[in-house]
Structure 1
Amino acid sequence: MTAAQFLVVLNTSVVNVALPAVGGDLGLSQTGMTWIVNAYLIAFGALLPVGGRLADLFGSRTAFVAGMVLFVGGSLAASVAAGAGLLIAARAVQGAGAAALSPAALAILLSRFMPGPDRDRALGVWGAASAAGGAAGVLLGGVLTNALGWWSIFAVSVAAGVPVLLSVPVLIPRETGGHGGRLDVPGALAVTAGLTLLVYGLGARDGSWVGKVLVPAAGILLLLSLVPLERRATHPLIPPALLGNRSVMAGNLLMLLLGTVWVGTFFFLPLYQQKVLDYSPLTAGLTQLPLAGALMAASAVAGRLRSTLLPGLVVLAAGLLWLARLPLDGTFLNDLLGPSVLIGLGLGLAFVPLTALGVSGVDPRHAGVAGGLINTTRQVGGALGLALLTLLASTAAASNEVGPAALAQGYRRALIGAAAISLLAAIGAGAHLLRTSGRMSRPAVSTTR
């Protein structure tokens, strides 16, 4: 299960170092390159509630196998794509497969470990696997692009995904079946179309009011339509019990903000290294290893410690503000190493407790959709945040043809925006911790006179 999660996260970061090479071969602008990332994130994030619901309906093992088949197929298609449109479509298929297999894998993990220290340690391993996927994506993206070409970064998911798929009959016991019910098709269509239109509209650069106003407005209206649709649904996509769980809702809201920062950092840092500092893809990948290593170490430690959420978010914001200096003549030791380690520590310390918060107190019948929801908010936060941060960066760097100074200024603004989002998440986490500690310490009200 952690191997599958490793591959899912790997594909959110493996393209980042390769983006300049992809954009050069396919003639993509910076905005166009974001869609190589966003096609995966939108399909993954928008369909995760559907994937989680399918795991609950038909069984986690069945949903996992179906998702892995789709994921491997999309990876194969991306590795042989001859044009930008085909590559973006293949990335969307990858994301759809990941949306089915990721919540199913988390549901299987939760079913094997009951709440307590064992589950906390298991979630720590899960978080470390996610961090390792991000680390391997950064490194493999540079190594493979440098040695074989950008197509190989997708072929590696085929080579790694097939053994995972073949191991399922041996390692995962057969289930008696799901929990029954039906899929909420109107809700699934509304959330998928709404998120796609919203992110597309936020990323619009055509200068027309239709693209910049009407498209995102239509996306927001579709997302708002979920409220009456879910109230009327016999089998809602997101069970009301989850929406009424304050811990689950707090975890998902904060994970939305963390996803914005996570994806934005791994998107802009390689661009700065290659377009401003003139690093090769291999060098850019290697110099991000301290960040990835710190993320892995912090994720593993966070599963054994308590109350790492608020410190993690504060450390993350500090690292982003430090990194946002982005000098034109920056060096790895003086300008990248220190902030990279802080960012990695902050991400790892925050990610594991947020995952645990998002599935705390959940009925086992809803484990799949709860796991899907917490992953949804991270991926959707990444897609929305990437569109917003790219918009912020583009005010100073409008195209690939501008000079290094303008590019650095744009990336600087994006990272400052990411730091502000981290601080906002820290404030929200502090408010939630105060509220929950107040409820726990509040004495019971006597009913006698």
Structure 2
Amino acid sequence: MIAPASPRRRPASSVLVLAAILTTQLMLVLDMTIVNVALPDLQSSLGFTPTGLSWVLNAYTLAFGGLLLLGARTGDLLGRRRVLVAGIALFTAASLVGGIAAGPGVLLAARAAQGVGAAFAAPSALALLMARFPEGAERARALGYFSAVSIGGSALGLIAGGMLTQWASWRWVMFVNVPIGLALVALVRAVLPETPRHPGRFDLVGAATSTIGMTALVYGFVEAAEDGWGAPTTLASFTVGALLLAAFVLTELRAPAPITPLRLFADRTRSAALGGRLLLMAAMTGLFFFLTQFLQDVLGYSPLATGVAFLPITVMLLVFSQVSARLMQRVGNRPLLVAGLATTTVALLLLSRIDAGTGYPQILVALVLFGIGNGLAFVPLTAAGLQGVDPRDAGAASGLVNASQQIGGALGLAVLVTVAESAARAAAPVGATALEVARHAFVAGAQQAFLVGAGLTAATVVLLAALVRRPTPAPTVVTPHREATTDERTPELALAD
């Protein structure tokens, strides 16, 4: 039996609804990169070790990606607006704590709490967007804005992080979320409708095995970069991760209410889109990580100049995500995915040729191509990942879309860091000083990481070209008019209640 929804009220303006959802998504995505350019200041202020510093990023990403599926399930059971508000509130409180942190432990706990809040807010935001905007051109436009914010927010985070770090303090990369979060709580409660509660259970075992399993895998790759593939800690981490992820699959097969209904993977287009998103985010996270360090440590850019250097990605994403949204209805998903990801591959190949003498014009060409490629690909990639989803699985499906993005970024960065570290160690020492030798080694590692990233996006082109297909239109059946029951409504109406 479905619990009664909150009393109906006059629908809010589509503009306000979209503003609430997009601002929520921007705040959550932006926080994955806003701390990047602040890391050197943060390290000297709080006394992080080099290894500990990497967990400032990992604590957020792993909590976000690992708990997304539980967050999606919670929205399905308790009501999506309610869970969205709770997630934003936790994220906001954690940002305040992180901003006043006096030591590494407090900051890492705050970053993990931010990730938990984001995990509960993000899938509900996307599910509410799908409910508010019907199939067709209106949804395509909304997904275009959503996709642009989702991927462009990463670049904007670097710009905002540079500005706040250079003009104020690293603490403001945390404090900036507080007024935004408070405003969002009020806006979401005012303009978004609540969805009905559904009876069911929380799959805590599934959530724990998936989250800890993915964390163990990421930790294994990080250890491999530092101590080698044969180190006991590396092998133990991979073993624990593999066993826990196997337990996760078995749990989901047997659970009466799994956080990840495995039937969602039965559709080949949806599965290919999720896999493609994971691979693309692996390459993109590597681009931001290595290019940020290259601009500051090799070319000598300031934090603000580094952030601004990424602006072409954002501009191209905003333009070409809208182009893609319009073309998607005309040509379908697959041509846009292939063209976009092929362009992204070319951009990464160009970056694999940078060296200490490279000027910004060459980097600019690569960034423009990267923005165009991702702008063309992300809208159809999101649409394909949600294609044909039953309304009861909408939260789980949107959670999978977000989880593939976060987990792809975490795993991908761990893999690419391992690749780069191996290449750097193998590089012949070049330079008259220790600093020059270190810069040469870093460049050698970054080149190899970009090359592997290009291989990941090239593999994504092949995967999506082979498996993505157009959705089959449902046949139109004319029946006598009567009031639809709960189970007969369209996904949009069922979600909007």
The one of 346, 370, 373 aligned to 1:318: 346
The Cα offsets for residues 11-69 of structure 1, whole Å up to 9 and x where unpaired, read as 11212222233334445465443322111111111101001111111111011011101
138-147 or 320-329, which deviates more: 320-329
Aligned residue number for residue 170 of structure 1: 190
Query: 2: distance between equivalents of 1:151 and 1:194?
Result: 31
Match of 1:211 in 2: 233
Within 1, Cα distance between the matches of 2:161 and 2:152? 14
Residues 67 and 211 in structure 2, CA contact (< 8 A), matched pair in contact too: yes
- Within 1, Cα distance between the matches of 2:50 and 2:418? 11
Deviation at 1:302? 1.7
Tell me, yes or no, if the aligned pair for 1:58 and 1:179 is still in contact at 8 Å.
yes
Query: Which moved further from structure 2: 24-33 or 314-323?
Result: 24-33
Write the deviation string for residues 330-388 of structure 1: whole angstroms up to 9, x where unpaired. 2212x211001111111222211111111110011111111011110110010001111
Quote the residue 2:494 is aligned against.
none
| Residue 196 (structure 1) aligns with | 215
- Which residue of the partner structure matches residue 198 of structure 2? 179
Q: Structure 2 residue aligned with 1:308, among 321, 331, 336?
A: 336
* Residues 31, 390 of structure 1: 8 Å contact kept: no
Is 1:425–2:460 an aligned residue pair?
Answer: yes
CA distance in 2, matches of 1:174, 1:227: 32
The 2-side partners of 1:99 and 1:288 are apart by: 26
The amino acid across from 1:194 in the alignment is: G
- Shift in CA distance, 212/240, structure 1 to aligned 2, threshold 3 Å: closer
Are 1:104 and 1:368, in contact at CA under 8 Å, matched by a contact in 2?
Answer: yes
What is the distance in 2 between the residues matched to 1:319 and 1:110?
A: 32
Instruction: Say whether the 8 Å CA contact 2:63–2:116 is kept in structure 1.
Output: yes
Unaligned runs of 5+ in 2: 1-20, 329-334, 426-433, 473-497
Deviation readout 1:124-183 (Å, 9 max, x if unpaired): 1111222342232111111111111211111111121111111122111244x2222111
Unpaired segments ≥5 residues, structure 1: 441-449
**Contact residue 143 and residue 325 of structure 2 kept, 8 A:** yes
Which residue identity is paired with 1:390? V
Displacement after TM superposition at 1:206 (Å): 4.4
Show CA shifts across 1:197-237 (max 9, x none): 11111101245722111112111110011222111111111
Q: In structure 2, what residue type is equivalent to 1:125?
A: Y
SS at match of 1:305: helix
Q: Could you tell me how far apart the structure 1 residues matched to 2:316 and 2:49 are? A: 32
Q: Note if 1:220 corresponds to 2:242.
A: yes
Q: Which of residues 283, 293, 300 is equivalent to 2:305?
A: 283
Which residue, out of 387, 396, 400, partners 1:369? 396
**2:348 is the counterpart of 1:328:** no
User: For 2:289 and 2:275, how far apart are their aligned partners in 1?
Assistant: 22
1:126 lines up with 2:153 in the alignment: no
Under a length normalisation based on structure 1, what TM-score does the superposition of the two structures give? 0.92
Equivalent residues of 2:282, 2:412 under 8 A apart: yes
Q: 2:37 is paired with a residue of what secondary structure?
A: coil
Contact kept? 2:152, 2:313, Cα under 8 Å: no
| Aligned partner letter, 1:248 | R
Which residue, 250, 257, 260 being the options, matches 1:235?
257
Distance of 2:71 and 2:388 partners within structure 1:
20
Q: Which of 330, 335, 338 is the equivalent residue of 2:365?
A: 338
Matched residue SS, 1:13: coil
Partner of 1:78: 98
Q: Residues of 2 paired with 1:4 and 1:282: CA distance?
A: 24
Deviation at 1:259, TM superposition (A): 1.3
TM-score normalised over the length of structure 2: 0.84
Measure, in 1, the Cα distance between the counterparts of 2:42 and 2:344. 30
Q: In the TM superposition, what is the alpha-carbon distance from 1:93 to its structure 2 partner?
A: 0.8
Q: How far, CA to CA, are the matches of 1:280 and 1:194 in structure 2? A: 38
> How far apart, CA to CA, are the structure 1 residues paired with 2:170 and 2:450?
26
For residues 81 and 354 of structure 2, what CA distance do their matches in structure 1 show? Answer: 46
2:449 aligned with 1:414: yes
- Residue 393 of structure 1 is matched in structure 2 by 420
Does the 8 Å contact 1:124/1:299 carry over to 2?
yes
Name the CA distance, whole Å, in 2 between partners of 1:174 and 1:378.
Answer: 26
> How many Å apart are 1:275 and its aligned residue?
0.8
- Is the 1:127–1:300 contact (alpha carbons within 8 Å) kept by the matching residues of 2? no
Distance in 2, Cα, partners of 1:407 & 1:343: 22
Q: Flag the structure with larger Rg.
A: 2
Q: Return the letter of the residue paired with 1:186.
A: V
Measured in 2, the distance between the counterparts of 1:30 and 1:349 equals 37
> Do the aligned partners of residues 228 and 363 (structure 1) sit closer, same or farther apart at CA in structure 2, a change above 3 Å counting?
same
* Superposed CA offset, 1:277-334 (max 9, x none): 111101101111112211222222222112311111100010011112222122212x
Distance across 2 between alignment mates of 1:412 and 1:76: 38
Shift of 1:188: 0.8
CA contact (8 A) 2:144 2:322 kept: yes
Give every structure 1 segment of 4 or more consecutive aligned residues whose post-TM-superposition deviation is greater than 6 Å: none
Question: Secondary structure at the residue paired with 1:12?
Answer: coil
The aligned amino acid for 2:139 is: R
- Three-state SS of the structure 2 residue aligned to 1:115 is coil
1:38-187 equivalent positions in 2, closer than 5 A: 38-175=58-195, 177-187=196-206
The one-letter code of the counterpart of 2:399 is G
Distance across 1 between alignment mates of 2:283 and 2:186? 35
Counterparts of 1:354 and 1:242 in 2: how far apart (Å)? 16
- CA distance in 1: counterparts of 2:354 and 2:106, whole angstroms: 34
> Which stretch shows the higher mean deviation, 81-90 or 315-324?
81-90
- In the alignment, which residue of structure 2 is the partner of 1:444? none
| 1:256 pairs with 2:291 | no
Give the alignment of 1:7-46 within 5 angstroms.
Answer: 7-28=27-48, 31-46=51-66
For the residue of structure 2 that corresponds to 1:150, the secondary structure is: coil
Task: Using the TM superposition, name which of 292-301 and 179-188 deviates more.
Answer: 292-301
